[in-house]
Copies of this chain bind each other. A is one copy, B any other.
Amino acid sequence: MNPKRCAACKYLRRRCPKDCIFSPYFPPNDPQKFACIHRIYGAGNVSKMLQQLPDQTRAEAAESLCFEAKCRVDDPVYGCVGIIHLLQTQIQQTQNQLAKTQAEIAVAQTNLSQTHNSDFM
């Protein structure tokens, strides 16, 4: 057994080839990272998705696939779409608070101009 096998090859119980597609993104010290991705997408699909991308974008793609896979393991019904819904609700709440605060400004400005006008009466 090669102790330097990447986490993916260790998980798949296979030899880690020199040009392993997983090795740069799944270091041996983080075995859980590949377990999630394998459970949701399957090793073959992940390998295919990474291979179709230019080298310089593969690390980011591996990270985002891991994130989505972890979300799906944590929430099998909504996955990271659940996070999108939460964020949309948060935006709506902040926008409502903003509209309320802007209305308060308009009232304060009206009060201020009425105070000024009454000074001259």
Interface residues, chain A, CB within 8 Å of chain B?
A: 40-42, 44-45, 49, 52-53, 57, 60-61, 64-65, 67-68, 72, 76-84, 87-88, 90-91, 94-95, 97-98, 101-102, 104-105, 108-109, 111-112, 115-116, 119
Contacts and interface: CB of A to CB of B under 8 A. Distances in A.
A80 to B, nearest CB: 6
A30 to B, nearest CB: 18
Question: Interface on chain A toward B: helix, strand, loop, or mixed SS?
Answer: helix
A119 B119 CA distance: 8
This protein's copies in its complex = 2
A87 to B, nearest CB: 4
Instruction: Rank and list the top 7 A-B pairs by shortest CB-CB distance, nearest first.
Output: A64-B81, A87-B87, A94-B94, A108-B108, A57-B77, A61-B77, A98-B98
Contact of A53 (B42, B77, B94, B115): B77
13 contacts: A40-B49, A41-B45, A42-B42, A45-B45, A64-B81, A67-B81, A80-B84, A84-B84, A91-B91, A98-B98, A105-B105, A108-B109, A115-B115
